[in-house]
Amino acid sequence: MAGMNAHINLDLGVAAAQVSPGAQLPQLKTDFDQINGVLAGLVSIVAAEIAAVSPLIGDLEKIGLRDETSLVNFDMTAARDAAWLTAQRLAGEPAFLHNPTVEALDLAISVEGRAILYPLIGGVGLAVIQQAETKDVRQVIEILSQSCPGNVSSS
């Protein structure tokens, strides 16, 4: 989630504005929006992979924190919408303002990232879930690569 936060909320809007600067940006909107549907279709696969390495993740709903699939879908859509707004802002402002805009956005996104990595709520419940997670990096990579087309699994 922290990686998705940084990538979608910071990198995506900046990249969109760089790829289609100024008046070219509206031409990118249809493709930008179609990616939301593709990503939403992958959420169930990602949820299954997360459950494979973190077997108690499903318990989040039981302790009243969330249904991770709907949260990821909602957050992804909201974050991509915010990324488009960032792209529009950068495309519409003078180039000399880009660095200060990106620096301010970077600071705000890093605060969000810290909140994801170090949540203020659910400490005990989340700690139990984390303890049950697979710590073997090789195993996690193998699980995650199983659903990626074209990936060669290690032997």
pLDDT value of residue 65: 56
Domain count, the chain: 1
Residue 153 lies in a domain: no
Residue 118 lies in a domain: yes
Nearest to 42 by CA among 67, 82, 73: 73
Residue 115 lies in a domain: yes
pTM here is 0.66
* Three-state DSSP class for residue 10: helix
HSE of 80, CA atoms in CB hemisphere, 13 A:
17
pLDDT at 68: 47
Q: What percent of the chain has pLDDT over 70?
A: 72
Q: Which residue has the higher pLDDT, 152 or 96?
A: 96
Q: Do the domain assignments include residue 49?
A: yes
Residue 151 lies in a domain: no
55-111 tens-digit pLDDT:
776 566 555 555 544 445 447 778 888 899 999 999 999 999 999 999 999 999 898
Complete DSSP assignment for 28-90: GHHHHHHHHHHHHHHHHHHHHHHHHH-TTTTHHHHTTS--HHHHHHHHHHHHHHHHHHHHHHH
Higher pLDDT, 71 or 130: 130
Within a domain: residue 46?
Answer: yes
| Band of residue 152 on the pLDDT scale cut at 50, 70, 90 | very low
Pairwise pLDDT comparison (70 vs 40), residue with the higher score: 40
Specify the higher pLDDT residue, 2 or 17: 17
Reduced to 3 states, what is the DSSP secondary structure of residue 107?
helix
Is 150 a residue whose pLDDT tops 60?
no
Domain of 118? 2-145
